[in-house]
């Protein structure tokens, strides 16, 4: 499955819970980039210059990384992608990766939250986690890039009959229960 939603919608938090309940790995491109950036690997150095500005990392870098991660043994029985695909071209790239392995997406879950709520959450997280991209101007840019490049993927997956939407506003546990109810027809939850 794929998880969509604006920065601050709670994808990372909910991904960990879904991963546990469905016993599938949660694969977060943002987490992989951050781990590489703090370890100062070549991939990390390339990614960091984009992430710190709120821009997307180039597809050439991102696609290769996802392809390698999906080839790992733990992804053979299913996986949850958090933060990928984020552009239409990444959708096509993922289609090709899945076709090669004979897998297909079961569901695309969009966690929705309005801009005002996500800015407030991200500014709060900035004081707790010290992420370089959680400053107000960078947050605004990330939301803009999301609206331009990623939000259209919801209707793209909707036209394939794969989209399920869940309201991300409210208590974390409440949102998890909403998600599990929404996913029930697609997976043995």
Residues of each annotated binding site for AMP: 29, 34, 55-57, 83-86, 90, 131, 142
Annotated active-site residue 45? The verdict is: no
Asked whether position 150 contacts ligand ADP by CB under 6 A, the answer is: no
Going residue by residue from 72 to 91, which x/- string records binding to ligand ADP, judged by CB under 6 A? -----------xx-x---x-
Compare residues 167 and 181 and give the one whose CB is closer to ligand ADP. 167
Q: Minimal distance in Å, beta carbon 40 to ligand ADP?
A: 16
Q: In sequence order, which ranges of the chain are alpha helices (DSSP H)?
A: 11-22, 29-38, 42-51, 59-70, 88-101, 115-129, 136-145, 152-159, 172-183
How far apart CA 117 and CA 172 sit, in angstroms, is 14
Q: Which residues of 91-129 are buried (b: 16+ CB within 10 A; e: fewer)?
A: bebbeeeeeeeeeeeebbbbbebeeeebbebbeebbeee
Task: Tell me the closest approach of the beta carbon of residue 139 to ligand ADP, in angstroms.
Answer: 9
Per-position x/- string for 91-130, each x denoting binding to ligand ADP as judged by CB under 6 A, each - no binding = ----------------------------------------
Q: Which listed residue (17, 48, 121, 142) is catalytic? A: 142
CA 48 to chain centre: 17
Tell me if residue 142 is catalytic.
yes
**11-22 and 172-183 helices, crossing angle to 10°:** 50
Residues annotated in the binding site for ATP, as ranges? 8-13, 125, 170
Residue 184 CB, shortest distance to ligand ADP, in Å, is 26
Rounded to 5°, the CA angle 91-92-97 comes to 95
Q: Does 25 bind ligand ADP (CB under 6 A)?
A: no
Binding site for ligand ADP (CB under 6 A): 7, 29-30, 33, 50-51, 54-57, 62, 83-84, 86, 90, 133, 142
**Residues acting as catalytic residues:** 11, 86, 125, 131, 142
């Amino acid at each position: 499955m794929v998880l969509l939603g604006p920065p601050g919608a709670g994808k990372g938090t909910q991904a960990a819970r879904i991963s546990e309940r469905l016993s599938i790995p949660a694969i977060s491109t943002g987490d992989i980039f951050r781990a590489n950036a703090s370890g100062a690997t070549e991939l990390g150095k390339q990614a960091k210059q984009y992430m710190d500005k709120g821009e997307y990392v180039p597809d050439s870098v991102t696609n290769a990384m996802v392809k390698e991660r999906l080839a790992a043994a733990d992804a053979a029985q299913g996986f949850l992608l958090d933060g990928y695909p984020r552009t239409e071209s990444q959708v096509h790239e993922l289609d090709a990766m899945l076709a090669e392995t004979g897998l297909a997406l079961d569901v695309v879950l969009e966690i929705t939250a309005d801009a005002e709520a996500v800015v407030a959450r991200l500014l709060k997280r900035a004081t707790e986690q010290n992420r370089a991209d959680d400053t107000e101007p960078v947050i605004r840019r990330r939301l803009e890039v999301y609206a331009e490049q990623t939000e259209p993927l919801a209707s793209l997956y909707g036209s394939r009959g794969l989209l399920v939407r869940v309201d991300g506003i409210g208590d974390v546990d409440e949102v998890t229960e909403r998600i599990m109810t929404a996913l029930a027809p697609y997976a043995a939850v």
